[in-house]
Structure 1
Amino acid sequence: MAYLAPAEFVTKMIDAGESKLLMSTRDTLIRSYMAGAILALAAAFAVTVTVNTGNPLIGAILFPVGFCMLYLLGFDLLTGVFTLAPLAVLDKRPGATWRAVWRNWSLVFTGNFAGAITVALFMAIIFTNGFSEPPNGVGEKIGHIGEGRTVGYAAHGAAGMLTLFVRAVMCNWMVSTGVVAAMMSTTVSGKVIAMWMPIMVFFYMGFEHSIVNMYLFPSGLMLGGDFTFMDYMIWNEIPTVIGNLVGGLTFVGATLYSTHYKTGAKRKVG
């Protein structure tokens, strides 16, 4: 595959961040809505595969298909803009301000959530035959996921919150690595291969992804999961969003920017 050197793809990261800050409200919402919907569908697919095969690894291997689709279609996830948008501010690009960053993050969050909720409703209808009967095996599994990753964390108090936060940090370390990895190649096959690996890692390891959870937890509530919407927000979504921000910006965006774009001075020899 055609490979770009780090200095080249980090420049592409900054260019991408700038373009997202300058994008119209309409386009930002449409692209983030579709990203949330496609990733939600991929999550439903992966859970279905896991339940039907009894093997979580197979579900994790296949889950990245959704991420690859939405990236190649030019749609936006909150986890990706967490990493890319601030780089345009750091590089002092025209029109790139922290206010513009917050605007972008807010719009992308809204669009991702709306897209994920749409698919959550559609899949809940499928899993229950239009809410006319109890959920099938996949629907039951989604409900239990919601319980374990909300009240399950709450049962451990501060230790549970710390675990949730660290899982969210690790998640966007991997997901943003996938976003950046796609920029390393100029071919579709190269982009897909590069994206697939870190996305598979995050899903199999059970890390916390804010947009995947926008599907899993509302869907779990629709399917009878034994937790509340406030459990979801306090003991998952809000800490996950913060952890995703820290993970993507700290371990991917800032590190690559600082060492491949704003490199340190070379040592003097002799």
Structure 2
Amino acid sequence: MSREEDYVEEQEEHEEIKNGKKIDRPGRQFYIPSQIVDEFGEKGRDHLNKPFRAQFLLALTAGSFMTFGAVFSILLAVGVETKGLYHLLSGLGFAAGYSMVFISGAVLFTEVNVLLPSYLFNKQGLMSRNIYKFWLSSYVGNILGAFMVAVLIYMSGSLSSTFNTELSMYLDHKMKFLDHGWKGWFQILISGVLANWLIGMAAFLTTAARDITGKILGTMLPVILFVAGNFQHSAANMGYFSMGFLVSDQYTWYEYILLNLLPASIGNLIGGGILVSLLFSYAYKEDIQTTLGRTNGSKKK
């Protein structure tokens, strides 16, 4: 059953007969958790079934939005002294990038960590598809997309030296774990778990909403929280690091990729795949009326 048919059915369930007259009662304005997990699985399947060129182009697009979000988060917070307001504005800025990703259907590595496991946990033949190519292409596409937009922004000369100064502060905040050696590497990994747990919940709330306003608000709240907490989200860091690589010599590509993005990405896989996808798939197993595992009809593998 499609989401639209499901919605119509729910509306009909709210119609009551009283004294021979039909009374319409408003239906829910959001999906319940089991429906959300089912929707995750369908989105994961749809992404996986796209031609490779479409997957890669959508990954490039998602990475591009990450750089726009990173730039906007810095621009909104420039010159703000009050910490609470600073974090709020920075989070709102980055929420713009995630909203564009979620609503456009772009392929973001950290969202795939939630959608694709939801599909795999609820279908037969868990490893019947070559999912690794898709996962890798989304990651590489995100990095390339983020860097390409950073290059365009840099070439445009639109940003002032004030932006570069603020960006340097952001980079120091993101890379502070370097001072802790191997302990810092594992701290980034744990921080990555927390980051994609929150972004997974942003996807959860966004999917729950049935209108554009609800989707944007659902995206904003977890994003503001992860930005304020300086949790290491690989896709977000791709945006910051792409700009940082072009305008600053504070850190090398080796430090950005191997000492931050790598542990953050591992943590993101755990946070999205286990703490969101697996957790809710198992908790609502009996309620999920998915057809993802069937081979007949329009839901064919």
The answer, yes or no, to whether TM exceeds 0.5 is: yes
State the match for 1:104 in structure 2: 134
Alignment pair present for 1:76 and 2:107: yes
Where do 5+ consecutive residues of structure 2 fail to align? 1-27, 288-301
SS at match of 1:9: helix
State the match for 2:231 in structure 1: 207
State the match for 1:35 in structure 2: 62
State the match for 1:149 in structure 2: 174
Task: Give the drift of 1:93.
Answer: 5.0
Percentage identity across paired residues of the two chains: 22
Describe how 1:1-270 pairs up with structure 2 within 5 A: 2-54=29-81, 55-93=86-124, 97=127, 99-126=129-156, 136-150=161-175, 152-262=176-286
Task: Give the drift of 1:247.
Answer: 0.7
Q: CA RMSD in A?
A: 2.1
Identify if the C-alpha distance between structure 1 residues 80 and 98 changes in structure 2 by more than 3 Å, giving closer, same or farther. Answer: farther
Give the number of the structure whose alpha-carbon radius of gyration is greater. 2
1:196 and 1:149 map into 2 onto residues whose CA distance is 21
Task: Give the drift of 1:73.
Answer: 1.2
Identify if the C-alpha distance between structure 1 residues 167 and 126 changes in structure 2 by more than 3 Å, giving closer, same or farther. Answer: farther
Where do 5+ consecutive residues of structure 1 fail to align? 130-134, 264-270
Scaled by the length of structure 1, the TM-score of the pair is 0.87
Task: Give the drift of 1:210.
Answer: 0.9
Residues 60 and 204 in structure 1, CA contact (< 8 A), matched pair in contact too = yes
SS at match of 1:92: coil
How many residues are matched?
A: 256
Identify if the C-alpha distance between structure 1 residues 222 and 187 changes in structure 2 by more than 3 Å, giving closer, same or farther. Answer: same
State the match for 1:267 in structure 2: none
Task: Give the drift of 1:262.
Answer: 4.6
Displacement over 4 Å in runs of 4+? 126-129
1:114 and 1:98 map into 2 onto residues whose CA distance is 29
Residues 87 and 224 in structure 2, CA contact (< 8 A), matched pair in contact too = no
1:245 and 1:98 map into 2 onto residues whose CA distance is 20
Amino acid at match of 2:197: W
SS at match of 1:207: coil
Residues 80 and 179 in structure 1, CA contact (< 8 A), matched pair in contact too = yes
